[in-house]
Structure 1
């Protein structure tokens, strides 16, 4: 018989997928609601005020619970100890290996981004640079209509809503996405054929 205890649990990517696809409604609802409430709070208050209020709320809960347990232990004359001892004894320090791993990961992503930006701004490929210019031009209109927090709220709602919609209507969505993708490819091919210098170099 195989030892099922040795099988690795779901990694963080699988946990994120489960979260976005609402596999556990309570957990996803709590995460989505907390983040949405935080973003809405930031639209009305500064980030310093929001963080201060969140910290005060958490401290109010923990201090109240600590006093309540202390009074209860005094009345019952029990010796249960600190109510948060289990969490206080846990090691929350980041290991050197974890810091090194995520530092290398962040550095790799940053370097890849810088290389890609250099390629686009110095027009290594004219078509890609033109696409990037069109994207930036569209962003100017989006920026005029929405501020950064509104875009974050829309992004959060989309992140928790779109995967569920796609899962339920995957066939229809894939069909229409394929049609749109083919239309874009046809338009790009026609433009490349008519405008000199737009054709990509042969591999």
Structure 2
């Protein structure tokens, strides 16, 4: 009786050890299988991102497109306190000028009057109250910065003139229709809002659109790509039926 129970215990222990060893052998295989699945999923995600055409042909991250500086951090809400302060200040200025009907030139003049009066009175009163006068910093615009801004502005203006010249020659109907459509949309928006409100709406969009796009860039790029394909199809139909029948003026080289 004792020998049979002893043999039974030995058999149980051997079976338990064999089952544990088989489980130990299965664990590396399961780990390798899980790693393979993760690698395939990662490769699929990278392949999907490579296939998607970025909006406006973008090849860099949104933060770098916006300059990768403090302005980009503010627009993308990397520093929520700074972004909230700038957005709040812009909203207060818009409310001040638009709703309270306070004019910009009047505001600038009143602000300068109050500032100059305070500095003038403090500078003269500091002699009697034995306080140090206010050190007004000397402000000067750097020449290099101004030249860079003027050059960039000149380049963009020349591009606009070149585009208008190409449209005026009657060679490119696609550009003509695109510019006319954009100007028509701007005129519709301008008829609904005044310049200050329109500027404030653009200001709000700077704080919302880049952030939304950065968080959902894959989905937005995929939808934009589908929309562009559909627009090109519709334009091809329009070009074949209508635009190709319109005579285009020739262009003579000087």
Q: Shared topology, TM-score over 0.5?
A: yes
Which digits, 9 at most, give the CA deviation of each residue in 1:139-159, with x for residues without a partner?
332222222222112111111
Match of 2:226 in 1: 179
1:13 pairs with one of 67, 73, 77: 67
Bigger Cα displacement from structure 2, 144-153 vs 50-59: 50-59
Alignment of 1:60-79 (within 5 A): 74=130
Bigger Cα displacement from structure 2, 175-184 vs 97-106: 97-106
Match of 2:197 in 1: 150
Contact 1:36/1:156, CA 8 A, preserved across alignment? no
CA distance in 2, matches of 1:19, 1:103: 25
CA distance in 1, matches of 2:116, 2:74: 28
* CA deviation after TM superposition for structure 1 residue 123, in Å: 2.7
TM-score by length of 1: 0.70
1:104 is aligned to 2:161: no
Which digits, 9 at most, give the CA deviation of each residue in 1:10-56, with x for residues without a partner?
9x922222121011122222222222322332222221123235446
SS at match of 2:68: helix
2:171 pairs with one of 119, 124, 127: 124
CA distance in 2, matches of 1:131, 1:27: 38
CA distance in 2, matches of 1:121, 1:41: 43
Could you list the runs of 5+ residues in structure 2 that have no partner in the other structure?
1-63, 249-254
CA distance in 1, matches of 2:104, 2:73: 29
Which digits, 9 at most, give the CA deviation of each residue in 1:89-114, with x for residues without a partner?
xx532233333222222222221222
1:50 is aligned to 2:112: no
* CA deviation after TM superposition for structure 1 residue 57, in Å: 6.5
CA distance in 2, matches of 1:114, 1:125: 15
CA distance in 1, matches of 2:91, 2:198: 12
Q: How many residues align?
A: 177
1:138 is aligned to 2:185: yes
CA distance in 2, matches of 1:96, 1:146: 37
1:163 is aligned to 2:210: yes
CA distance in 2, matches of 1:116, 1:40: 37
Summarize the Cα distance change of 1:127–1:46 in structure 2 as closer, same or farther, 3 Å threshold: same
Question: CA RMSD for the aligned pairs?
Answer: 3.3
TM-score by length of 2: 0.58
Bigger Cα displacement from structure 2, 98-107 vs 158-167: 98-107
1:24 pairs with one of 61, 65, 79: 79
